[in-house]
Structure formats: C-alpha cells, structure tokens
Amino acid sequence: MTTDTLDSLRAVTLRWITDDPDAATRDELYRLLDRLPESHGELADRFAGRLVFGTAGLRGPVRAGPNGMNRAVVRAAAAGLSAWLHRQGVSGPVVVGYDARNGSAEFADETARVVTGTGRDALVLPRPLPTPVLAFAVRHLGAVAGVMVTASHNPPADNGYKVYLGKELGGASGAGAQIVSPVDTEIEAAIAGLGPLADIPLGDPGTVLDDSIVAEYLSAVASVIDRDDPKELTVVATPMHGVGGEVLVAAMERAGFAPPSLVPEQAAPDPAFPTVAFPNPEEPGAMDLLVGLADRSDADLAIALDPDADRCAVAVPDASGWRALRGDELGVLLADHLIRRGRRGVYATTIVSSQMLRAMCEARGVEYRETLTGFKWIVRADEDLAFGYEEAIGYCVAPDAVRDKDGVSAALLTCELAAGLKAALSSLSDRLDELAREFGVYRTDQLSVRVEDLREITDAMARLRADVPATLLDEPVTEYDDLAPDADVVTLRTASCRVVVRPSGTEPKLKAYLEVVEPVAEDDVPAARERAAAALQALRTEVSAALGL
C-alpha cells in the first residue's frame, strides 16, 4: 500500500468523524486511525461503501463507519424515510419497534427523534418485542409507516432496519407489509441527497406506547384458534435468546393452551446468543437444547422461534427420535388445516417453495397464487389473502392482523392442529403421510454454493442459460422459464422434478431449489419417500454439474 492510499483513507475517515453524532463511534474510528498502517484492512472495509437501503432495509455489523450499523447511518436512514414520506404528502404517525440486539434500543430512539423532528408523531413500542407486533401495530394504529430495528436471525454482531408501510401508501394488500421496489430506491435516493447529519433536526423521543398494544396483538392472533377445539398438548419451546418467549407463552395461554416449557438457557433475551453458533432454527445444532428438553418432558411438540419471532420451526417425535419439519412440510400442513376448517380466500407461496400447495389448492377448489421470493411479495399476492408461506419457515396465518410472517401465530395454529390430531390418536407425521397418499411425496432440498467473487455467480447463471440441460433424472426438460430481466431466476421442469436457480438476495451465494415428486404405490409411503430421497440426491449431482460450481 502506498502513502497516498493511507492518506486518502485517513482523510475519508476524518471527514466521516466530523459528521458522526456519536462520541463512542468517533472514538472507535480514532483508535483505528492511531493504529495505521496495521489497521488499514479493517478501516478500508468500513469505508468500502455505505450500507445500501434495499427492500430488506439495512442490515450489517454494528460498528463505526458508513459500512456498518451505527447512529450516523440510522439517522440518515430515518431522515431519508421521513423525507420520502413528506414527498408523498401523507400525514400520520410512524411506529417504531426494536428487538434486544446490541444497539437496537439506541437506534430506535434515534429514529423516533428524527421522525418527531419533522413534526410527525413517533409511536414507540413499550419494550423489545417481536417483529410481528410492529407489523400488527402499523395496521392496527393506522400508521403511515413503521420501522423495526432487528437483524432477525443474523449473527450476533449484526443489526438491521426494516420499513413497513400503512394502508395509505401500501394499498389494501400491502397495509402493514414491508416495502417493495421502487420505494426502496426512492428512500435510498433521499438518503444520498442528505446534507450534513448535524443539520437534521431532532425532536423528542416520541410517545412510548403502553402494553395494551401487546394485549391487542395477542387477542388478534389468538382469535385464529377455535376455542372449542381440543387443547390437550405438551409443548416445549425456545425463543433462541430472542424476544419471542414471553409473547409466545402469553399467546398460548390466551388461546387456551397450557403454557409451553421454555428452554431455560435460551429463554431470556441475550444479544450474545451464547448457546448457538448461529441463531437460526434451520442451522444444524440450533435446536439441540430444545430437542433435549422435549425428550425429558415427553413433549408432543417442540417449537423454535427465531430471535425476532417472525419465523417458526417445529420438531416432532418419530420412530428414530425428534425430526424438524421442513418449511414446506409445515406450510402444507397449515394450509390443509385451514382449508379443512373452511377458510376461503387466496393461498400463496413463492416460486422456490414446494409445488404441493398448488396441487392441494387445485384438488380442493381453492385459489392459489405464486410470487417471487420474499414475504413482501407473498402478502401482496391478493387483498383476499387467506394464508401464505415460504420454504424458509415463514408463515402468515392471520393476514388480517399481521401482513407479514409471524412465528407466534404460526405456532398457535400448529398447536391447534397437533392437539386435534392427538385427540384423534393421530399426529402431524400421520397427517403428512395422509397428504402423501393423496398427492404423492413432494421432497425438497436446496443446493447452496457460497462464493468469494460474485462474478462466479454471474458466470454460473450465464452457463446455465447458454447450455440448458436437455434432461434431468433421465426425463426431458419440458419447461424452461427465465424471469430475466425482471428477476435473475431460471426454472427447469420435467414430469417429476423442478429446479429453481437464483442468486441469494442477502448473501454471496448461488441457490438451487430442488424438488422431486414420487407417487405412492400400494399405500407404501415409506418406500415412496426412499425413492424420492434417492432421486433428490441424483438431482443435486446433476444440477451441481450444470452450474459448474
């Protein structure tokens, strides 16, 4: 590295420091400057770019500099959002919520002060709470927008910033839903056009709501459950060091179930997430403590919420121990349950989720929609949404209350289904077998390749488009769908399998979503599952070769 390179980096850092409103992060950068040239790599990474405001808002490590989550970046984001709202000519409050991660309460306070500094009311949730409570509050309070400070199931070092719109800006299907394009680019442009942060007026910390907003949320999600259905069920659960434990317990009691036993080591919020390597229920080992408690408790059901409680994972006992259901499995179970209960409306999932929901809706005469990946699209599938799910363990079971994925209400509906089956001497696993006999075994998996250079993903997608496989699993490819330029997604179908390939929207990964369908012959579901598993493994090998990764 040259002296000019160091001098340039030093100058950029000092300019940022002069506009940083936080003494702690200013000092953090001064310490890095004092360590130059040894700290060059770390400092250069912090100034490699600014966190970009996208449809998922902001997300990144809590640290000083433009490429991190800190008060300066949050102040700019809040000011950009406020400026965008002003340009839309709308009035009304902004609801602000936050989880228990490092910096969440501070970033929520910064957001509220920026909002009130523009003369608009800021309504702040009373304490660290699940993301679904914020999504509910935006609809329930008639707010113009909402901000949730959370990084969901990201690593402990991260935090983030999600934005929701009220009915006036989001429309009937998007009221209380996360933003979609072009709103993200418009807010990003407003952020880029800001002057010095010191010129942004700050107001008071807003109005802190009382716990009645939580009680109203609990009443709304508990109303999903039929009070007269069986409630006898032994449940263990974990909020995974997040903010969902207390709310889940209260929701189950409100719905008439016995309170679940929480994994004691993970029951209280802890931003360090000390018992899990990665606070995501889908990660290997993340549910080990939960399964251990389920074994000791002779439980019927084990439930894991992710740290902001917008996603729900479920494990069930079977002949070989406890098994975590795939997102597609729980998705079709909940859809089937609601259809059997007579809930009308549109049932929606994404292009990368299992096609079993489509088959079920066609057979039952229910409206079906398929969307691009992400809950922001699922909830906008139709104003008359009855249910939506994505394979990444996200479920919307109470769309009139929460127009987003909600792990708490999904857990309640799962408990209702499991309790009813238990009373009939059956189980979730048994119901899955019944559905397999009716529709066949739909087996899904994901091939995920992490890269160091994003050009590898571009090259792989180009190779796939230039040399489309003629066959998969010795069957001719009968459908080839390329969503470019609207979306970088390619779909291949044969008579018995489907492959959807797309770059990840949040990580440097290329993802291929695999599915095979195996009919059940002579009522032998286990044999069909074995054939499907073998076919899925063969499909994985073929797709990996086609992508050249």
Annotated catalytic residues are 152
Instruction: Pinpoint the alpha helices (H) of 20-70.
Output: 23-34, 40-46
Indicate the length of the chain as a whole number: 549
Residue 346 token pair: 């549109």
Residue 413 token pair: 């509906």
Of all residues in the chain, what percent are helix, strand and coil, respectively (each to 5)?
40, 20, 40
To the nearest 10°, report the CA torsion of 381, 135, 182, 331.
Answer: -40
Residue 250 token pair: 């209260």
**Edge-to-edge strand list for the sheet holding 235-238:** 261-262, 235-238, 301-305, 312-318, 321-324
Q: Provide the b/e sequence for 94-126 (b: ≥16 CB within 10 Å).
A: bbbbbbbbbbbbbbbbbbbbbbbbbebbbbbbe
Q: How far apart are CA 202 and CA 118, in angstroms?
A: 8
CB atoms within 10 A of CB 367: 15
Closest CA to 290 of 235, 238, 233: 238
